Amino acid sequence: FPYLPQLRRLSLYSNKISFLYAGAFSNVPELEDLSLTYNNISFISSSAFSNLPRLKNISLSHNKISFIIDSAFSNLPQLKKISLSYNRISFIKNRAFTNLPELQELSLSFNNISFIKPDAFANLTNLQQLNVRSNRI
């Protein structure tokens, strides 16, 4: 999206996106809301969401994500909400969500999570809502 530098909301709902590469959205630095719901995303590279200093909400629900790679969601200073519901995530490793000082809501419901590492949510000091219902915990 190189010609949309002022874009604030982007919905890529119900497409056939399968991978999110590093810097996939680096040309839209004003982006605040990103919906990638109902795609075929199975992999998110580290830094896929780099250069998004104003991103507040991201929805990746109803995809095929099976794990969260280190730094997939790091350095998003204004991010408040992440939805990863209805995926195939089976475990949450230590510090899977780092450098997210404003994160308030994290939804991991309806996955296959059977194990959460003790420090998985370390440093999420503003987290108010954590939804892990309908998993295998």
Structure tokens at 17: 């996106």
For residue 58, what pLDDT band results from cuts at 50, 70 and 90? very high
- 75 vs 90: CA distance, rounded Å: 24
Residue 8 has pLDDT above 90, yes or no: yes
Determine what percent of the chain is predicted with pLDDT higher than 70: 100
- 103 vs 129: CA distance, rounded Å: 9
Residue closest to 100 by CA, chosen among 118, 125, 119:
125
- 121 vs 41: CA distance, rounded Å: 23
- 43 vs 68: CA distance, rounded Å: 8
DSSP letter for each residue of 78-94: T--EEE--SS---EE-T
For residue 72, what pLDDT band results from cuts at 50, 70 and 90? confident
AA identity, residue 58: I
pLDDT computed for residue 131 by the predictor = 98
- 20 vs 25: CA distance, rounded Å: 9
CATH code that applies to domain 8-25+35-137: 3.80.10.10
pLDDT computed for residue 47 by the predictor = 85
Residue 3 has pLDDT above 80, yes or no: no
Phi, psi angle pair for 39, to nearest 5°: -125, -160
